[in-house]
Chains A and B, each alone.
Chain A
Amino acid sequence: MSVARKHTFGWSIEMLRMLLDRRSLCLVLSALTVLYFLALSLGVVLYRCPLHTSTGFPCVGCGLSAAVLALLGGRFSQMWQLHPFAPYFVLLGSMIVGSAFLPDGLRIRWNAFWIRLEARTRVHGLILTILCVFGALRLLGQLLMTQ
């Protein structure tokens, strides 16, 4: 029982560790995210979802960037309609930005806090699993609507 419990969403801790431990990766992701949202706020889309571009069907993350812009603009109902998981990605983004720009001592504590929190709660694993179910249901709904 305890072994099964220990390994539930074990991948989410590993994911956070692999993501936050690489400062260069966090720096590149932060820079690209800022560039992407700056361009998007000016009406220029720098990156398009490969699935949506080639098939017309939405992937799990489709609508997320518009939802994040709506959230940052305080348009909560619009955010909810576009992608209800936008607040989670703002949180994940702030974790990555923190890991990219904090000084070494503070960064180690910052990363350790999030990894310890995940080890106790498995909140990222749970949210990402629910998000995948949400994406699959949305895709199924779209498929049924087109038939």
Chain B
Amino acid sequence: MATLMGILIAIAGIVSLVCWIMILIKIFNESIGLGILGIICGLFAFVYGWVKVKEYNCKNVMMAWTAAFIVTIVANALGGAAVVRSVIGMAEESGGITEVEWSTETE
């Protein structure tokens, strides 16, 4: 499960990278300053791409980027849950952590 999520995250990352570069080129054509801001903060480029979606004529690119964005979030959440589940499973198989003893005594 975790491996599958890792592959999904990698694919979504590549799609995001391509869309990011395409939007950055359009932002740079409009303003160098905003382009630099788009490099530093990818989230800004994402928001600005949606703000200027009609002017840039880039609806398909933004849709693909948004889909990759959602896939990354979902895969991260599921991947994290899968890792937690596997750790709990491994702990149970190896005898399990039935209770945690807290020592308050100092030497």
Q: Does chain A bind chain B?
A: yes
C-alpha spacing A21/B16, complex, angstroms: 28
List CB contacts (< 8 Å) of A20-39 with chain B.
22, 24-25, 28-29, 32-33, 36
Q: Is B83 an interface residue (CB 8 A)?
A: no
Q: Is A95 an interface residue (CB 8 A)?
A: no
C-alpha spacing A76/B13, complex, angstroms: 31
Stretch in contact with the other chain, from B31-39, B54-62, B89-97, B99-107: B31-39
Interface band, chain A:
35 or more
For A14, what are the chain B residues with a Cβ–Cβ distance below 8 Å? 31-33
Chain A residue nearest to B34 in the complex (CB): A15
Chain B residue nearest to A16 in the complex (CB): B33
Q: Is the CB of A18 within 8 A of B16?
A: no
**Dominant secondary structure of chain B at its interface with chain A:** helix
B residues contacting the other copy or chain, number (CB 8 A): 30
Q: Is B67 an interface residue (CB 8 A)?
A: no
Q: Is the CB of B51 within 8 A of A28?
A: yes
For A128, what are the chain B residues with a Cβ–Cβ distance below 8 Å? 33, 36-37, 40
Q: Is the CB of B13 within 8 A of A11?
A: no
Q: Is B9 an interface residue (CB 8 A)?
A: yes
Chain A residue nearest to B33 in the complex (CB): A15
Residues of A within 8 A of B (CB): 11-12, 14-16, 18-19, 22, 24-25, 28-29, 32-33, 36, 44-51, 53-55, 59-61, 64, 124-125, 128, 131-132, 135
Can you pick out 13 interface pairs between chain A and chain B where the beta carbons lie within 8 Å of each other? Answer: A16-B33, A18-B33, A19-B34, A22-B51, A33-B43, A44-B77, A47-B46, A50-B42, A53-B13, A55-B17, A60-B39, A61-B42, A132-B36
